[in-house]
Structure 1
Amino acid sequence: MASKIQQLQSQACQASKFVAKHGTAYYKQLLEQNKQYIVEPPSVEKCNELSKQLLYTRLASIPGRYEAFWMELDLVKQMWKNRKELKVEDAGIAALFGLECFAWYCAGEIVGRGFTFTGYYP
């Protein structure tokens, strides 16, 4: 156990040295590549304004997403009514989608338990 802690400390030290050496250059490069998204002058008021714009833009998009959801649901209902004409490929895609949803649910449960598989908290 002690050797694992020392190994982890060594890796953390190496990572820290790497970030100290290359972090500033990466930061400058990142800002240069994304300068079109930077608002001048940077101020608290501008940040508050942008956060409000984001919030209300997202709220304004809800009706469109709501309509798209019901259109998708109508499509699924229509497919269910015509299930006799359903192709094997469509059924396979639906099964894979259901499996993916279940996998994300399981992953969320594992994350919610603190990345434990048994639910045991030491």
Structure 2
Amino acid sequence: MAALGSKLAQLQSKACEATRFAAKHGCAYHKTLMEKNKHYVVDPPTIQKCQELSKQLFYTRLASLPARYESFWKELDSAKLLWKNRSSLKVEDAGVAALFGIELYAWSCLGEIVGRGFTLTGYHV
């Protein structure tokens, strides 16, 4: 139980340190960030304008679904064609495919670790 109290005190100390850092540097960071990206800001920044932009983004993405759907099926047909002609594949092509599969697996593992709160065993205090 003492270890849990120690961890809690350590976590509390780190949270206080992060709060002090944010209080000291947060305003300057925000000002710099907004100055650098002012061309993205809609004037006036009202709630109504934010809701309108949110709807525009949603429906724009919704409108892009048919093209994405078509592109997906083209890619799948291409993969089927490659599989059908796999006997004529070169070693380099097989190597690229294997590396791609390994990369997908690694991203999946990383996502699992992040989802568990950056713990390797799933046990966190």
Whether TM exceeds 0.5 here: the answer is: yes
Partner of 1:60: 63
Partner of 2:103: 100
Cα displacement (A) at 1:103:
3.7
Instruction: Specify whether residues 118 and 51 from structure 1 end up closer, same or farther in structure 2 by C-alpha distance, changes over 3 A only.
Output: same
Cα RMSD, aligned residues only? 2.5
Q: Does 1:77 align with 2:93?
A: no
* TM-score, normalised via structure 1 length: 0.81
Tell me, in whole angstroms, the C-alpha distance in 2 between the residues paired with 1:45 and 1:32: 23
The count of corresponding residues between Structure 1 and Structure 2 is: 122
Tell me, in whole angstroms, the C-alpha distance in 2 between the residues paired with 1:11 and 1:114: 17
Tell me, in whole angstroms, the C-alpha distance in 2 between the residues paired with 1:120 and 1:4: 14
Q: Which sits farther off after the overlay, 15-24 or 2-11?
A: 2-11
Partner of 2:36: 33
Tell me, in whole angstroms, the C-alpha distance in 2 between the residues paired with 1:3 and 1:117: 21
Q: Deviations over 1:16-63 (max 9, x none)?
A: 111110000001111111101111111121111101100110011111
Identity %, equivalent residues: 66
Structure 2 unaligned residues grouped into runs of 5+: none
Instruction: Specify whether residues 6 and 119 from structure 1 end up closer, same or farther in structure 2 by C-alpha distance, changes over 3 A only.
Output: closer
* TM-score, normalised via structure 2 length: 0.80
Tell me, in whole angstroms, the C-alpha distance in 2 between the residues paired with 1:25 and 1:83: 57
Higher relative contact order (CA 8 A, sep 6+): 2
